[in-house]
Chains A and B, each alone.
Chain A
Amino acid sequence: MAQEASSSTSSKTISLKTGDGEIFEIEASAAKQMKTVQRLIDDLGDDITIPLHNVFSKELPKIIEYYKKDITGEITKDFEAEFVKDLNDDEVKVLFLAANYLDANKLFEFLSQNIADRLESKSVEYVRKYFGVENDFTPEEESKLREERAWSFRGIKEDE
Chain B
Amino acid sequence: MEETTSVSYNQNYSGSPITNIPQDYIFTIILLLPIDAILSLSVTCKRFKAITSSDTLWKSLCKRDLGSTCVDSLLKSCNNFNQFSWMKLYKQVYQIDSVCCHKLSYPHGDLDFPKARASHSLNFVSDCLVLFGGGCDGGRHLDDTWVAYIGNDFPRILKWKTVHSGIPSGRFGHTCVEMGDLLVLFGGINDHGNRQNDTWIGKVTHNENKGITFSWKMLDVGNIAPPPRGAHAACCIDDKRMVIHGGIGLHGLRLGDTWILELSDSHCFGTWHEIAIHPSPPPRSGHTLTCIGRNRTILFGGRGLGYEVLHDLWLLESCQGYMRWIQVLYDLQNIPDGVSLPRVGHTATMVLGGRLLIYGGEDSSRHRKNDFWILDISSFPSTTASSKRVLTRIWKRWKSNGYEPKSRSFHRACVDPSGRHLYVFGGMVDGLVQAVEPSGLGFDKELFLVELVLQL
Q: Which residues of A contact B (CB under 8 A)?
A: 19-20, 53-54, 56, 58, 76-77, 81, 90, 93-94, 97, 100, 108-109, 112-124, 127-128, 131-137, 142, 145-146, 149, 151-155, 157
Please count the residue pairs between chain A and chain B whose beta carbons lie under 8 angstroms apart in the complex: 119
Q: Shortest beta-carbon distance, A134 to chain B, in Å?
A: 6
- Contact partner, A134, options B43, B45, B387, Cβ 8 Å: B45
Contact of A132 among B4, B5, B18, B389 (CB under 8 A): B18
Using Cβ atoms and an 8 Å threshold, which residues of chain A touch B37? 116, 119-122, 127
Binary interface profile of B, 1-13, with partner A (CB < 8 Å = 1, else 0)?
A: 1101100100010
A144 to B186, CA, bound (A): 56
Contact B388 A157 (CB under 8 A): yes
Q: Are B45 and A120 touching (Cβ within 8 A)?
A: no
Write out the residue numbers on chain B whose beta carbons fall within 8 Å of the beta carbon of A155.
389-390, 392
* Distance in angstroms between the alpha carbons of A137 and B50 in the assembled complex: 13
Which residues from chain A contact B401 at a C-beta distance below 8 Å? none
B22 to chain A, nearest CB (A): 8
**What mask results when residues 137 to 171 of chain B are scored 1 for a CB within 8 Å of chain A, else 0?**
00000000000000000000000000000000000
Q: Give the segment of B27-35, B113-121, B285-293, B414-422 that binds chain A.
A: B27-35
Tell me, rounded to whole Å, the shortest Cβ–Cβ distance linking A22 to chain B. 12
- Leading 6 A-B pairs by shortest Cβ distance: A116-B32, A149-B39, A132-B16, A117-B386, A133-B45, A152-B36
Please provide the chain B residues from 389 to 418 with a CB less than 8 Å away from any CB of chain A in the complex.
389-390, 392-393
Partner pick for B94 among A53, A90, A152, CB 8 A cutoff: A152
What B residues does A20 contact at CB under 8 A? 4, 8
B45 x A151 contact (CB < 8 A): no
B residues near A128, Cβ cutoff 8 Å: 44-45
Closest to A113 in B: B32
Interface SS majority for chain A: helix
A90/B2 in contact, CB under 8 A? yes
Q: Would you call A154 and B392 a contact (CB within 8 A)?
A: yes
Query: Is there a chain A Cβ closer than 8 Å to B73's Cβ?
Result: no
- What is the chain B residue whose CB lies nearest that of A157? B388
**Which B residues are CB-close (under 8 A) to A90?**
2, 5
| Interface residue? B384 (CB, 8 A) | yes
Minimal Cβ-Cβ distance residue in B for A128: B44
List 26 A-B residue pairs with CB atoms under 8 Å apart, sorted by A's residue number: A19-B8, A19-B12, A58-B5, A90-B2, A94-B5, A108-B25, A109-B28, A112-B25, A116-B37, A117-B384, A120-B387, A121-B388, A124-B40, A132-B16, A133-B18, A133-B48, A135-B44, A135-B45, A137-B46, A146-B43, A149-B40, A151-B91, A154-B379, A154-B389, A154-B393, A157-B388
Q: Is B42 an interface residue (CB 8 A)?
A: yes
A152 touches B39 (CB 8 A): yes
Complex: chain A residue closest to B2, CB-CB: A90
**A10→B34 CA distance, assembly (Å):** 43
**Is A113 within 8 A of B384, CB to CB?**
yes
Which residues from B are CB-within-8-Å of A53?
A: 12
- Cβ–Cβ contact A153 & B36, under 8 A: yes
Separation of A145 and B384 alpha carbons in the complex (Å): 32
- In contact, B46 and A151 (Cβ under 8 angstroms): no
